[in-house]
Amino acid sequence: MTDTSPATREFEGLTIPAPGTYQLDAAHKVVGFSARHMMVAKVRGTFTEATATITVAEDPLESAVTATIQAASISTGQNDRDNHLRSGDFLETEKYPTLEFASTGVKSHSGNEFVLAGDLTIKGVTRSVDLKVEFEGVGRSPYGFDIFGFSASTEIDREDFGLTWNVALETGGVMVGKKVKIEIEGEAIRQ
């Protein structure tokens, strides 16, 4: 008889994954973002190619994450806009092919919500950010893999990373807002 229960443990009332190394499941992830456009609406997009390694520590609050996003995989559904975002005006993907994140520690937690501090590198510039992470649950896939789910979000000022291109509008304001919201949904698989 095959054991169908995932390798888990209890932590402050939560059922969490057993210690180990987990990889972001490419088939079950969304790395998205949104930014203001023309001062009246939001443009949304995704990065279709991203990898992450999550090391769940014996002490869950010492767990760590590293992630790499392929900058050229940016997609907003509009080829001209995507090509502009890949250009030197924004991500300059030929010179800076990846965006990187490396956690530096868990700042706080309450229930299934955690604040994960880390260093985000975009276009060769590294800044500290706080990811608000919601632990979604743990289970075992029909294929026998231990998995867990999570959601994460943060907001950055794109100009802090050297992404300063803009156009002033005749009606006031600018074409592209400074604030960018980053939202991640994913499942991780035990290795």
- C-alpha distance from residue 112 to each of 77, 135, 150 (Å): 33, 5, 10
What's the DSSP call for residue 129? E
**44 pLDDT more than 60:** yes
Q: For residues 88-116, give the mean pLDDT.
A: 96
Q: Which residues contact 1 (CB under 8 A, 6 or more apart)?
A: none
What would the pLDDT profile of 16-34 be if each residue is shown by its tens digit? 999 999 999 999 999 999 9
Per-chain mean pLDDT for the chain: 93
Report the distance separating Cα 91 and Cα 74, nearest Å: 10
pTM value is: 0.91
Domains and CATH numbers, the chain: 8-190 (2.40.128.110)
List, for residues 134-163, the tens digit of each pLDDT value: 999 999 999 899 999 999 999 999 999 998
Average pLDDT value for residue range 47-62: 96
